[in-house]
């Protein structure tokens, strides 16, 4: 979001650079904390978040961005309560990349049922991929074609085993 700001004066550029540096340092500290979560440091992280995102710089667009992010404090600091939560959405974005590519090529679906079918199949495919199960073996097993040679447990059990 900071990358989208278009500062026009040297002062605005410095403010954006400083803010970006503060945010990245905070992010790196959170990454380190996630390796060995310490409940004693949580209050400090919350205070540090407030110092970064509650500050006012005089650069209107930057101040609005900081205010918007500060309003999402509970959501953005959820990792402090649940350290297993990823700090970024890269995995989620990678998961939908193939969907977006297919949608662009095909022009989307015609009906709601088609969209639901596509989303379900993509979800199954991605889940199988993450669990190391060939998708077509999974489908063959579910359809009773027995193509994989060994039975595949229901996805709910597989996901529980992978956790």
Q: Is the same domain home to 96 and 37?
A: no
Task: In whole angstroms, give the CA distance from residue 117 to residue 123.
Answer: 10
* Average pLDDT of span 117-145: 82
Q: What's the total number of domains in the chain? A: 2
SS3 25: helix
SS3 149: coil
Q: Is the same domain home to 7 and 70?
A: yes
**Residue 20 located in a structural domain:** yes
Task: In whole angstroms, give the CA distance from residue 56 to residue 100.
Answer: 38
Q: Is the same domain home to 112 and 60?
A: no
**Residue 85 located in a structural domain:** no
Tell me the average pLDDT of the chain.
84
**Residue 54 located in a structural domain:** yes
Q: Answer whether residue 148 shows pLDDT above 60.
A: no
150 confidence band (pLDDT: 50, 70, 90): low
Q: Is the same domain home to 60 and 109?
A: no
* Average pLDDT of span 14-27: 95
**Residue 111 located in a structural domain:** yes
Q: Is the same domain home to 157 and 99?
A: yes
Task: In whole angstroms, give the CA distance from residue 78 to residue 82.
Answer: 6
What pLDDT, in 10s, does the model give residues 105-124?
777 777 888 888 888 888 88
Q: Find the domain containing 116 and state its range.
A: 90-162
**Residue 145 located in a structural domain:** yes
**Residue 128 located in a structural domain:** yes
Q: Answer whether residue 89 shows pLDDT above 80.
A: no
% of residues, the chain, pLDDT over 70 = 83
Task: In whole angstroms, give the CA distance from residue 7 to residue 132.
Answer: 47
Q: What backbone torsions phi and psi does residue 91 show, to the nearest 5 degrees?
A: -65, -40
Would you list the DSSP string of 53-113? HS---S-HHHHHHHHHHHHTHHHHTGGGT-TTS-SS-HHHHHHHHHHHHHHHHHT--SSHH
Q: Answer whether residue 11 shows pLDDT above 80.
A: yes
Q: Answer whether residue 161 shows pLDDT above 90.
A: no
> Crossing angle, helix 112-131 and helix 135-142, to 10 degrees?
110
Q: Is the same domain home to 94 and 68?
A: no
**Residue 9 located in a structural domain:** yes
Q: Is the same domain home to 73 and 138?
A: no
Q: Is the same domain home to 148 and 115?
A: yes
Answer whether 0.75 is exceeded by the pTM: no
Q: Is the same domain home to 75 and 94?
A: no
Final residue in a domain of this structure, among 13, 45, 80: 80
Q: Is the same domain home to 74 and 135?
A: no
Final residue in a domain of this structure, among 59, 80, 101: 80
* Average pLDDT of span 36-51: 95
């Amino acid at each position: 979001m900071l990358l989208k700001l278009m500062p026009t004066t040297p002062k605005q550029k410095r403010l954006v650079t400083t803010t970006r540096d503060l945010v990245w340092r905070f992010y790196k500290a959170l990454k380190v904390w996630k390796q060995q979560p310490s409940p004693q440091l949580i209050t400090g992280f919350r205070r540090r978040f407030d110092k970064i995102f509650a500050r006012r710089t005089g650069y209107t667009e930057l101040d609005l961005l900081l205010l918007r992010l500060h309003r999402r404090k509970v959501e953005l600091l959820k990792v402090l309560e649940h350290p297993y939560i990823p700090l970024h959405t890269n995995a989620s974005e990678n998961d939908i990349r193939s969907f977006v590519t297919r949608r662009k090529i095909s022009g989307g679906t015609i009906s709601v049922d088609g969209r639901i079918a596509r989303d379900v199949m993509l979800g199954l495919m991605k889940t199988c991929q993450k669990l190391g199960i060939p998708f077509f073996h999974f489908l063959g097993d579910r359809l009773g074609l027995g193509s994989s040679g060994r039975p595949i447990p229901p996805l709910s059990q597989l996901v529980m085993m992978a956790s």
